[in-house]
Amino acid sequence: MDGRQKSIVDSRRAQMFFDLEPAEIERVRRFGTYRAYAAGEALANVGVVAQGLTIILSGQVDILQREKAGGHRVIVTHGPGSFMGELAQLAGRPALIDAYAKTPVQALIISPERLRALLIAEAELGERIMRAFILRRVGLLETGGGGPVIVGRAGNGDVLRLQNFLRRNGHPHQSLDPEADEEAKALIDKFQVDPGQLPIVVCPSGQLLYNPTETELARCIGLLGPIDPNRVYDVAVVGAGPAGLATAVYAASEGLSVIVFDCRSFGGQAGASARIENYLGFPTGISGMALMARAFNQAQKFGAEMAIPTEVLGLDPPSADKAEHFVLKLANNDRATARAVVAANGARYRRLDVPGLEEFEAASVHYWASPLESKLCAGEEVALVGAGNSAGQATVYLASQAAKVWLLVRGPSIAASMSRYLVDRIQGLANVEVLTQTKISGLEGNDGMLEAIHWRDAAGKETRRPIRHLFSFIGVDPNTHWLAGAGVTLDPKSFIVTGIDARSHAGPLETSVHGLYAVGDIRSGSIKRVAASVGEGAQVVAALHGFFAEADRMEAVAARA
């Protein structure tokens, strides 16, 4: 962190750490159980699932954060009336801090499930506690406290992949570059790691992972727990973008049991947006990640279960001779069962048709422009391909960091496909050059890192420029492969057909399979906007209630017969 900048702990301390009034403690006693701790006893340890919200009734507790170079730093000392906990406690995930009783302590422990009930029952106090949880997480994100340590060369494709995964999932972490950090060298020596085995990840539990997959990392740090194959959820939501998270918030808040799967992280395409300026209620704009993180926390507050990262690979609808409910086939041979399924898994970016693209995709070709990418490009020239709003937003964002942005467009202008405000903004940027009727024709580089890009204009003139980062925003295709064999009607472009075009009695968001719904970008004819996806996520919950009411009626009739 920049030494001149104030940390969140300095600027928002009063909201992060406050005491409950005696009357408030009295009111919340019914949610908890009592426990006593001797001086020196641990109340929480990094990497171990904590008990939930802990309100200190008497005594003092030190909250400690582990430092990069070993050792601990006291973040805060809680006294009577104050409380321990942050976002991990909402979902029953492992703690990101250590907590030790400084004196004998009496505490009220509120389990994650009872905590969610408290947050809903006690609206005003719940709002203050929730805000404190979010700010405490932001504080941990600022320092990387309590998270895993990634050791590997900065800019290496796998290092970027792991950093991106943790950043997109709002999980603190630290990165150490063996070429620049003494601590990295010490860890490499300690674990006797060969340079070819990098990157490694040291989990808070002490477990060492060699260049792990996102799933291996998520399991090691407790982000992803086991899925109970015998539990029947009311609703399984596939995709945690705006449509899926809206479905989860409305369904869980109305008492349905909900599980949400996403193969990457929460937020979907919206989470990759540097600044969303057309979402109702945010006149100054909001970063996609900030908007989606709020929705994710909100869904967890209402009790939606998150299984991230988990890819849904297939779907078996209920049938008379087989299962009574939908069975979702998941990566790692796991399964989940639900009475209804909502497909909210959007679309995936198209890839440029240029030889050798794959070789550079990990480190030099980017499909979104977040602070991580913009840092990599600071002071450099970059090339960006695309002419839609996402390309426009990324151009404006990157231009604030990069020395120059070359915007390469296949068509004759950007005005036909980009919103006017973005076109105007781009025209006002001195370090952006728009090249129309131009295509990327070649890539040059070594070890997965780009060194130069070639492009060709309409007259066939080829240009070569020494550019190390290429951004691609050329549209998306629907993620409908997992529905193959499930009997779902798709349109000619493979988007899911809903409503009466799918089946004569289907509701507006229902597919050709009764009980399977589609919302957001994956739906044929959808408006590809965050607000439209959120609206459909809210709307589908009414349809789900209708579906369950009908299913319950049928069951009652069958039981009477």
Ligand X SMILES: Cc1cc2nc3c(=O)[nH]c(=O)nc-3n(C[C@H](O)[C@H](O)[C@H](O)COP(=O)(O)OP(=O)(O)OC[C@H]3O[C@@H](n4cnc5c(N)ncnc54)[C@H](O)[C@@H]3O)c2cc1C
When asked if residue 410 is in the footprint of ligand X (CB under 6 A), the reply is no
- Judged by CB under 6 A, does residue 418 bind ligand X? no
- The SS3 assignment for 450 reads strand
**Phi, psi torsion values for 528, nearest 5 degrees:** -80, 75
Of 193, 243, 338, 540, the residue at the interface with ligand X (CB under 6 A) is: 243
Q: How far is the CB of 383 from ligand X (least distance, A)?
A: 16
Among 32, 268, 317, 318, binds ligand X (CB under 6 A): 268
Residues 379-408 interacting with ligand X (rule: CB under 6 A): 389-390, 393
336 binds ligand X (CB under 6 A): no
Q: In what order do the strands lie in the sheet with 33-37?
A: 33-37, 105-110, 53-58, 83-84
Nearest Cα to 508, choosing from 482, 526, 521?
Answer: 526
- In the complex, the smallest distance separating the C-beta of residue 219 from ligand X, rounded to whole angstroms, is 17
CB-nearer residue toward ligand X: 132 or 530:
530
- Site for ligand X (CB under 6 A): which residue of 164, 169, 211, 273? 273
Is position 368 an interface residue for ligand X (rule: CB under 6 A)?
Answer: yes
Query: In whole angstroms, how close is the CB of 334 to ligand X at the nearest point?
Result: 12
- In whole angstroms, how far apart are CA 94 and each of 51, 101, 198, 453, 512? 9, 19, 26, 45, 41
Instruction: Report the alpha-carbon distance of residue 88 to residue 93 in Å, rounded.
Output: 5
Which residue from 178, 199, 239, 317 is in contact with ligand X, where contact means CB under 6 A?
239
Q: Does 373 bind ligand X (CB under 6 A)?
A: no
Q: Torsion angle, CA of 408/411/415/417, rounded to 10 degrees?
A: -100
Regarding 143 and contact with ligand X (CB under 6 A), the answer is no
> According to CB under 6 A, which one of 19, 142, 311, 316 is a site residue for ligand X?
311
Residue closer to ligand X by CB (options 112, 271) is 271
Q: Give the span between the Cα atoms of 211 and 202, in whole angstroms.
A: 11
Nearer to ligand X, 134 or 391 (CB): 391
* DSSP character string of 27-96: HHGGG-EEEEE-TT-EEE-BTSB--SEEEEEES-EEEEEE-TTSSEEEEEEE-TT-EE--HHHHTTPBBS
Q: Is 345 a residue that touches ligand X (CB under 6 A)?
A: yes
Taking the complex as a whole, the smallest distance from the CB of residue 259 to ligand X amounts, in Å, to 11
Residue 533, token pair as written in the block = 């996806």
To ligand X, the closest distance from the beta carbon of 262 in angstroms equals: 4
Q: What is the Cβ-side half-sphere exposure of residue 140, based on CA atoms within 13 angstroms? A: 31
Interaction site with ligand X (CB under 6 A): 238-244, 261-264, 268-270, 272-273, 276, 278, 311-312, 344-347, 368, 389-390, 393, 479, 482, 520-522, 528-531, 533
